[in-house]
Amino acid sequence: MNLASPFSISLVVITALALLGLPIGLAMLCGSILYLFMAGLDMGTVAEQFLNGMYSNYVILAVPLFILAAEIMNSGSMTERLLRFCNVLVGRFRGGLAQVNIVQSIIFAGMSGSAIADAAGSGRMMQNMMTREGRYTPSYAAALTAVTAVVGPIIPPSIPLVLYALVSDASIGYLFLAGVMPGLLMSVLQMGQVAWTARRNNFPVEEAVPLREIPRITWRAFPALMMPVILLGCIYTGVTTPTEAAALAAFYALVISVGLYRSLSAKEAYNALLISTKTSASIGMLIAGSLVFNYVVTIENIPNTLRMLLIDWELTPIQFLIMVNVVLLLLGCVLEGTAILLIIVPVFVPTAQALGIDLVHFGVVVVVNIMLGLVTPPYGLLLFIMTNISGAPVKDIIRDCMPFLFWMFVCLGLITFFPEIVLWLPRMAGYGA
Amino acid sequence: MRSSSARHIFEWLRSRAENIACAMLAAMFVAFMLQIAFRYLLNLPIGWTHELSVVLWIWLVLFGSAFVVRESEEIRFDLIYGPATDRARRVMGFITAAALIVLFGVSLPAVIDYVTFMKVEKSAYMKIRFDYLYSIYIVFAVAMIVRYIWIAWLAVRGQAPEAYDPTKASSGV
Amino acid sequence: QDKTKIRFSAVFSEQDIRAEMMKKFADGIGDEFEFEGFYGGMLFKQGTELVALQRGNLEMGNIAPQDISNQVPEWSILTSAYLFRDAAHLQTFFDSELGEEMKKMAEDKLGVRVLGPTFFGTRQVGLKSDKKINTPADMAGIKLRMPGGDSWQFLGQALGANPTPMAYAEVYTGLQTGAIDGQDNPLPNVQNMKFYEVMSQIVMTSHLIGFDLLTISADTWNKLTPEQQEKVQTAANEAIAWSTEQHLKQEEELAASFKEKGLDIYTPDLDAFRAHAQKMYLESDLAKSWPEGLIDKINAL
Ligand code: NA
Ligand code: NA
């Protein structure tokens, strides 16, 4: 690639501006404008892509609403009641609360199809629980919340799997089932890592709860604990779409905080709204910035250049899968996940098919890969979101992510080389029969 | 005396901007609840709520970024920026501000041209002209230019960007 | 002399028959042109290609007639239910004098030239429930997902259903969970999105002959020499004819394959549906912008 080309220069400028501290969404807007200017294209396109990209991405609306739900939960006494209940459940183990973060992510993964919504929504709640009274450092809590949120779109429902089905023609129904085991495997590996660190770093043990207190604490937390059940119930009985479920979560949190727990004053409610508004605006700017930059990547024909390269090499299925993993992991470090899924992955699908790789298996490998890209520096959306939520420096969060990243790579390796882990459940349900 | 009353007005305006942005998110939430209720409870699906929520989301992001979100609340890559000294951050702040002012400024005529062109289209349900719906982008672009001129000015005057934190500025009021 | 660069944007995926069609088109226009195709809505989002053409950010696009009718209300007649009988009728219309008039209108008002209609399948109603549908009355109370926007929702009403908007990506789960009772799409979409997994029947209402328009911006067109224009138009005609044939073949195969998968596929009382729909359209505000007498002339083609 020509180093003096408009594309290379705009890439360098985005990186430089971001490193010099310009908010990342704005850095991507600036770089894209520079590209359009140098390429002699209509600079109005920056507004066009920003506005139309946001206008047609309905599912993103779940993000501000999940943030709102979490803020309401935090403002009322829900978080506190859940925390007490968690003490009862696993507080007696070393690093108990960290384990709760993992279990909680599995539960939330069953309600949400977006890792970003998970981190911005339930993740915010976990962040507050873990850092309250200095139990864990903000960066460790943020790192754990980021890596556990990764499971969100692997366990169904899953927006990325739907997008993959769209570009590959693989069955959504079977893809959803195929995500279950890899998601659980990843969570189990994370639990192992937490248990090990907990022993080594002497993580806090929550005070043992007297036996007679348990029914009362459980009862007090019960309405809050019912939230995933109610949400899942509403999604699976067709009361709401997965996107609308985010609004329902906020509504449910509001009803029990105000009606049942009587713990939310008007001032607190407004404050929750204000924080959600600010967080939504700054996260929205980041998403929009990547939408605009996506246009530059597309018009530069990066996907086609890649495909031409692929045809020249003659690879075995295993070599091909390894190559796809490496490429996607590298791209995941610098690009937005949805863009990779919609631009790069379609380039690989025909080759995968020609090599006899099962497209459901391939889909899960690809989506796990892209989800890992959300926590790999320097460009990891979950890292930025957790930076925003926790206030911890991004480099500390990245440091604390490292051990988890290792195990997530192990998980990726296992599902790449042992398709049975992925395909077992779909086959039980009749796939390929 | 004069500067303190100017600051007072500035803070009052910011609070009103916060009120407006909050109203947008609240309206979005209500639109979603209406949508669920009308489809599921009343079996009367409505579509305009869908459109309203998307429009509110765009306005929330652009209006919020322009007038509500403070410098210290932005998502940024703070690997270098965070630990930098005040002096270094002044230089960094000036460079990024200059880049943003120039690039946003250069693209502004084209952006205005695009938004005004959109008068030819109307939204599907509420039949609102798209140049009105999208006008907020122009407001955002102009506000960002003004804001970063201010940041650059402060950097030249000897104030590092982080010190321009309205939370601290308003704490005395 | 420099090659003429043609950037083309469409919502359909690179695996779609229509992407193949564009490849044939690109081969057909030869190497005086540099053709770059962008698929899957990656360059411009659905419904935004027209403005991109008008503003000179795109040379060619695959545009929905609904998008043209946004700016040229007369065009809304071409989006109404039970207007065209089949793909052949659609092609006949665009080749006719009447079609030329409509194309001229788009060229004069929007600055885009329509090369031809790209047929992509006939819209059929697919339902989760196994209740038999024969007339529009049987559709009463059925929550039928239709694309967003008044004109689409009106189409749902014209079928007698209770139309509900929902994002395309949410339709599969919506059907699975019962948030909606049905959807209306051509059979190839039912296949691509796996809707058949969560439906029990397809009512062959054939209420809308689905087509987009292969368009080129007037700016680009007018800069071509007459020979080049001829070449582009011929390539478009040939590619479109090929694609239409492929789609018809595919629809036939898909109907058989869905039947094999256990779906109930049958044709309802089409006359009852047509009468109900055309009556509703003619009584609505939409019909006010329709060119006088055009509907009868199209029916007579
Ligand atoms: Na978590
Ligand atoms: Na999920």
Summarised one tens digit per residue, pLDDT across range A87-107 is 677 667 788 888 888 877 777
A chain contacts of residue C14, beta-carbon cutoff 8 Å: 346
Of the two residues A341 and B58, the one the predictor is more confident about is: B58
Are β-strands C182-186 and C143-146 bridged in parallel, bridged antiparallel, or unpaired? parallel
Spatial separation of the C-alpha atoms in residues B111 and B89, rounded to whole Å? 31
pLDDT value at residue B170: 22
**Do B121 and C71 lie within an 8 Å CB cutoff?**
yes
pLDDT value at residue B173: 18
> How many other CB atoms are there within 10 angstroms of residue C292's CB atom?
7
Q: Across residues B139-153, what is the average pLDDT?
A: 95
- C8 membership: H or E segment, kind and range: strand C4-9
Q: How far is CA C67 from CA B118, C47, C250, in A?
A: 13, 6, 26
- The secondary structure of residue B129, as a DSSP letter, is B
Q: Which of C46, C48, C55, C75 would you mutate first to test chain B, the one with the most B CBs within 10 A?
A: C55
**Do A48 and C57 lie within an 8 Å CB cutoff?**
yes
- With bands split at pLDDT 50, 70 and 90, how would you rate the model's confidence at A358? very high
pLDDT value at residue C142: 92
Report C:160-219 residues touching A (Cβ under 8 A). Answer: 166-167, 169-170, 172-174, 176-180, 192-194, 197-198
How much is the CA Rg of chain C, to the nearest whole Å? 19
pLDDT value at residue A432: 62
Q: How far is CA A314 from CA A194, A323, A358, in A?
A: 42, 12, 19
Q: A with C: how many residue pairs have Cβ under 8 Å apart?
A: 90
SS3 call for C5 = strand
| Joined tokens for residue A204 | 């806090």
| Joined tokens for residue B81 | 């920026």
Task: Tell me the average pLDDT of chain B.
Answer: 85
Task: Tell me the average pLDDT of chain A.
Answer: 82
Using CA coordinates, name the residue in chain C closest to A58.
C167
Ligand minimally distant from the alpha carbon of residue A121: 1
Interface residue C43 vs chain A (CB under 8 A): yes
Neighbours of chain B (3+ CB pairs under 8 A): A, C
Scored b (16 or more CB within 10 A) or e, C190-215 reads bbbbbbbebbebbbebbbbbbbbbbb
At A108-167, the pLDDT tens digits run 676 556 677 667 666 777 788 788 788 899 999 999 999 998 998 898 767 678 678 766
**Do C179 and B39 lie within an 8 Å CB cutoff?**
yes
Task: Find all residues with CB under 8 Å of A351, minimum gap 6, and list them.
Answer: A310, A320
pLDDT value at residue B168: 27
Task: Tell me the average pLDDT of chain C.
Answer: 91
Hey, which of A396-405, A422-431, B72-81 has the most confident mean pLDDT?
Answer: A396-405
Are β-strands C33-38 and C112-127 bridged in parallel, bridged antiparallel, or unpaired? unpaired
| Joined tokens for residue A367 | 């989506």
How much is the CA Rg of chain B, to the nearest whole Å? 20
From C57, C47, C45, C35, select the one nearest C111 (Cα to Cα).
C57
**Do B29 and A17 lie within an 8 Å CB cutoff?**
no
Spatial separation of the C-alpha atoms in residues A149 and C261, rounded to whole Å? 37
Contact B140, A25 (CB under 8 A): no
Q: What is the distance of C-alpha A239 from the center of its chain?
A: 25
Neighbours of chain A (3+ CB pairs under 8 A): B, C
Ligand minimally distant from the alpha carbon of residue A160: 2
Contact B32, A35 (CB under 8 A): no
pLDDT value at residue B166: 26
- The secondary structure of residue B158, as a DSSP letter, is T
**Do C70 and B43 lie within an 8 Å CB cutoff?**
no
Of the two residues B59 and A222, the one the predictor is more confident about is: B59
pLDDT value at residue A106: 77
B chain contacts of residue C150, beta-carbon cutoff 8 Å: 47, 124-125, 127
Of the two residues C266 and A287, the one the predictor is more confident about is: C266
At A48-84, the pLDDT tens digits run 999 998 998 776 787 788 778 777 876 767 766 776 7
**Do C164 and B39 lie within an 8 Å CB cutoff?**
yes
Hey, which of A208-217, A371-380, A422-431, C21-30 has the most confident mean pLDDT?
Answer: C21-30
Q: How far is CA B136 from CA A132, A346, B131, in A?
A: 39, 35, 9
Q: B with C: how many residue pairs have Cβ under 8 Å apart?
A: 43
At C237-262, the pLDDT tens digits run 999 999 999 999 999 999 999 999 99
Chain B nearest CA to A365, separation (Å): 29
A chain contacts of residue C180, beta-carbon cutoff 8 Å: 238
- With bands split at pLDDT 50, 70 and 90, how would you rate the model's confidence at B1? very low
Number of H helices, E strands in chain B: 6, 0
> How many other CB atoms are there within 10 angstroms of residue A196's CB atom?
12
Residue C170 has pLDDT above 60, yes or no: yes
Residue C122 has pLDDT above 60, yes or no: yes
C chain contacts of residue B124, beta-carbon cutoff 8 Å: 148-151
C chain contacts of residue A41, beta-carbon cutoff 8 Å: 57
Of the two residues C120 and A213, the one the predictor is more confident about is: C120
pLDDT value at residue A309: 74
**Do C148 and B120 lie within an 8 Å CB cutoff?**
no
The amino acid present at B125, given as its one-letter code, is Y
Residue B169 has pLDDT above 60, yes or no: no
Contact C245, C20 (CB under 8 A): no
A interface with C, Cβ–Cβ < 8 A, is 41-42, 44-45, 48, 52-53, 55-56, 58-59, 157, 159, 162-163, 165-167, 169, 171-173, 235-243, 294-295, 298-299, 301, 342-343, 346, 349-350
Interface residue B126 vs chain C (CB under 8 A): no
**Do C150 and B47 lie within an 8 Å CB cutoff?**
yes
Residue B2 has pLDDT above 70, yes or no: no
**Do A243 and C170 lie within an 8 Å CB cutoff?**
yes
SS3 call for C61 = strand
Backbone angles phi, psi at C179, to 5 degrees: -60, -30
pLDDT value at residue A274: 92
- The secondary structure of residue C147, as a DSSP letter, is -
Q: What is the distance of C-alpha A47 from the center of its chain?
A: 27
Q: A with B: how many residue pairs have Cβ under 8 Å apart?
A: 197
At A170-205, the pLDDT tens digits run 776 678 789 989 999 999 999 999 999 988 888 877
**Do A242 and C45 lie within an 8 Å CB cutoff?**
no
In DSSP terms, C6 is beta-bridged to C35
Q: Rounded to the nearest 10 degrees, how much is the dihedral formed by the CA atoms of C50, C53, C58, C63?
A: 30
Residue A25 has pLDDT above 80, yes or no: yes
Q: How far is CA C185 from CA A414, C140, C210, in A?
A: 39, 19, 9
Q: Lowest-confidence range among A88-92, A265-269, C153-157?
A: A88-92
C chain contacts of residue A166, beta-carbon cutoff 8 Å: 13, 169, 192-193
A chain contacts of residue B63, beta-carbon cutoff 8 Å: 281
Residue A284 has pLDDT above 70, yes or no: yes
Task: Find all residues with CB under 8 Å of B24, minimum gap 6, and list them.
Answer: A277, B56, B59, B60, B63, B64
Q: Across residues C147-172, what is the average pLDDT?
A: 84
pLDDT value at residue A304: 67
Of the two residues A300 and B133, the one the predictor is more confident about is: B133
pLDDT value at residue A383: 86
- With bands split at pLDDT 50, 70 and 90, how would you rate the model's confidence at B161? low
In DSSP terms, C211 is beta-bridged to C119
Spatial separation of the C-alpha atoms in residues A166 and A242, rounded to whole Å? 18
C chain contacts of residue A295, beta-carbon cutoff 8 Å: 43
- With bands split at pLDDT 50, 70 and 90, how would you rate the model's confidence at B165? very low
**H-helix segments, B37-129:** 48-63, 78-81, 86-117
Q: Can you give the length of chain B in residues?
A: 173
Query: Nearest by CB to A56, which of C36, C42, C45?
Result: C45
At C208-217, the pLDDT tens digits run 999 999 999 9
**Do B33 and A288 lie within an 8 Å CB cutoff?**
no
Residue A428 Cα to ligand 1 midpoint, Å, equals 29
- With bands split at pLDDT 50, 70 and 90, how would you rate the model's confidence at A303? low
Q: Please return the burial class of B14, using the count of CB atoms within 10 Å of its CB with bins 0-12, 13-18 and 19+.
A: middle
From A335, A306, A339, select the one nearest A323 (Cα to Cα).
A306
Residue A293 Cα to ligand 1 midpoint, Å, equals 29
pLDDT value at residue A166: 63
B chain contacts of residue A54, beta-carbon cutoff 8 Å: 54, 57-58, 61
Three-state SS sequence of chain A:
CCCCCHHHHHHHHHHHHHHCCCCHHHHHHHHHHHHHHHCCCCCCHHHHHHHHHHHCCHHHHHHHHHHHHHHHHHHCCHHHHHHHHHHHHHCCCCCHHHHHHHHHHHHHHCCCCCHHHHHHCHHHHHHHHHHHHHCCCHHHHHHHHHHHHCCCCCCCCCHHHHHHHHHHCCCHHHHHHHHHHHHHHHHHHHHHHHHHHHHHHCCCCCCCCCHHHHHHHHHHHHHHHHHHHHHHHHHHCCCCCHHHHHHHHHHHHHHHHHHHCCCCCHHHHHHHHHHHHHHHHHHHHHHHHHHHHHHHHHHCCHHHHHHHHHHHCCCCHHHHHHHHHHHHHHHHHHCCHHHHHHHHHHHHHHHHHHCCCCHHHHHHHHHHHHHHCCCCCCCCHHHHHHHHHHCCCHHHHHHHHHHHHHHHHHHHHHHHHCHHHHHHHHHHCCCCC
pLDDT value at residue B163: 39
Contact B91, B102 (CB under 8 A): no
**H-helix segments, C159-293:** 171-177, 187-192, 218-223, 226-260, 270-283
Contact B60, B21 (CB under 8 A): yes
Neighbours of chain C (3+ CB pairs under 8 A): A, B
Q: Which residue has tokens 């090599």? A: A355
Spatial separation of the C-alpha atoms in residues B141 and B157, rounded to whole Å? 24
Q: Which of B20, B76, B114, B129 would you mutate first to test chain A, the one with the most A CBs within 10 A?
A: B76
